[in-house]
Amino acid sequence: MLPFSDYHMHTPLCGHASGEPQEYAQQAIKIGLTEIGFSDHAPLVSHKDPGITMDHSQLPVYLHMIESVRAEFADELKVLIGIEADYIPGYEDKTKNILAQYPFDYVIGSVHFIQKWGFDDPIQMKEWNIRDVNEVYRDYNRLLRKSALSRMFDILGHVDLVKKFDFHPTEDMTAEIEENAHVFKKTGLVIEINSSGLRKPAKEIYPSLHDLKIYCAKGVPITFGSDAHQPKDVGCDFDKSRDLAIAAGYTEYVLFEKRKITRTVSLL
């Protein structure tokens, strides 16, 4: 069975997505999904960047916008209200304050920054050429574990986003991933199978089969997300995402409401 819920999609409020939320909902219905969750980029806590996230003043606009989509499509589609929040060490209290402002259905925690470097930002891509790629991978995985231990999030987003531009380590990172799995399990976190990597230079779902096998063996649950930044990408490549999950050993995924797992759904 294909997953019927897509938990990762954006709105134009983040400054780099297009299409109205209604169009995302319509696309979901068109391809046979019965549940979607919006997870737009929460206001950045460390600095302002209107090309990356909404501003603080726009959070009520976001909530109102998704609430009205939820009401409009109530008969045909379950619409959840989530958010994707950056993990930035030192800003935990500020992040918690933002997340406490609304009873979200789930919070996706994402690492997009290593110190001040937006390593997945196309504008900052040159930085990769002067960095030690092995160091970058270790720093990234360390931040993932810190983000889990902050206990602010329900789902961790694209847990090998560091491969986005197709730079790969020369050293084996298996021990890092095993340590991640241990920490994610201990902190009760869920990870997402995020198909957007297929649309990026890495041309691979996040996370890789290698990593996903390790997470599955530890018993870390999964959700599915397209990370759509335009309506046509809703539910994109969910057949490949499902196949990957099964190849890694998963037989089910989880659903959320009000920041709790409410249901487990079979993939078989």
- Pairwise CA distance, residues 222 & 192, whole Å: 5
Strand 222-225 to 190-194 pairing = parallel
Choose the binding region for Zn ion from 64-72, 73-81, 223-231, 235-243 (rule: CB under 5 A).
223-231
110 binds Fe ion (CB under 5 A): yes
Choose the binding region for Fe ion from 53-61, 62-70, 86-94, 154-162 (rule: CB under 5 A).
154-162
53 binds Fe ion (CB under 5 A): no
Cβ-closest residue to Fe ion?
A: 110
Instruction: Quote the distance between the C-alpha of residue 111 and its chain's center.
Output: 9
Three-point CA angle 94, 95, 100, nearest 5°: 100
Residue 87 beta carbon to Zn ion: minimum distance, rounded to whole angstroms: 12
Residue 16 beta carbon to Zn ion: minimum distance, rounded to whole angstroms: 6
Considering only residues 68 to 97 of the shown chain, the ones binding Fe ion according to CB under 5 A are 84
Pick between residue 157 and residue 221 the one whose CB is nearest to Fe ion.
157
Q: Pull the structure tokens for residue 60.
A: 């009520």
227 binds Fe ion (CB under 5 A): yes
DSSP 79-135: EEEEEEEE--TT-HHHHHHHHTTS--SEEEEE---BTTB-TT-GGGGGGGGGS-HHH
Which of Fe ion, Zn ion, none does residue 180 bind to, with CB < 5 to 8 Å depending on kind? none
Q: Which of 176, 211, 227, 237 binds Zn ion (CB under 5 A)?
A: 227
Positions touching Zn ion (CB under 5 A) are: 227
